[in-house]
Amino acid sequence: MKPIFIAGPCVIESMEVLEAVAEKLVLLREQYGVDFIFKSSFDKANRTSLHSYRGPGIEKGIQMLADIKEKYRLRILTDIHESYQANIAGEVADVLQIPAFLCRQTDLLVAAARTGRTVNIKKAQFLSGLDMQYPVQKVRESGNDKVWLTERGNMYGYNNLAVDFRNIADMHHFTDTVIMDCTHSVQRPGAADGTTGGNREFVPAMALAARAFGADGYFFEVHPDPDHALSDGPNMLQLDDLSDVVASLIN
């Protein structure tokens, strides 16, 4: 069974950036015969600084994602930060993502579950893989069995993350689908003078290590020009490099 690939720019910047990424994903889908889910955020509510770019907001952002979905026939994943956003985002998104820091927020999990969409819960930087049984339980007991879990590393001292790949195996106790977030796991949180730093050169190795531990899918934030991206640039993968990484995971 071929893996799931989730890819897209961290935050919605413009239709030009969204379309550049979507066009690439369609080409790779045809080239490799794998499933791609397009990811981008309409609002980054957890930026380090008050002055950081957050996105176009839910109304405009969801419409932009709907346009990408219709034009390129790509499934959509986006994250939500507040319970009221679940139904609005769920009208377009096939997968609703729960950010790592919010994975224990009961009302958010219940609201996402009740949309009937797949709920992808990112493991918090302060939890173990085994701890994720409880967020999964909240979604399932709210009437939704479509739950994925995503590994994205744990805090390791200050401004650093480390990945314990055993979490992938541990989270498989609670769901059949465990995703590796290969780009957020190389972040240096808050380590770039009010923004998040990162080391994108480690992204391909993170993906390969996750494959060895049985990951079912891979999450990549990608951008045509990550050095000038408005969010998460240092850890985003250069769009043109995505093809080689995908090839390494399916061969």
| Domain residue limits, the chain | 4-250
| pLDDT above 70 for 242 | yes
Give the single-character DSSP code of 123.
P
* 223 or 233, which is more confident: 223
CATH superfamily of the 4-250 domain: Aldolase class I (3.20.20.70)
pLDDT digits (tens, 9 = 90+) for 33-48: 999 999 999 998 887 7
Q: pLDDT digits over 82-126, tens only?
A: 999 999 999 999 999 999 999 999 999 999 999 999 999 999 999
Helical spans, DSSP H, in 49-172: 58-72, 85-90, 106-114, 133-140, 166-171
Q: Is the pLDDT of residue 243 over 60?
A: yes
pLDDT of residue 188: 76
Mean pLDDT score across all residues of the chain: 93
- Please tell me the predicted confidence (pLDDT) of residue 193: 54
End-to-end CA distance of the chain: 12
Q: Is the pLDDT of residue 190 over 80?
A: no
CA dihedral 207, 243, 149, 77 (to 10 degrees): 160
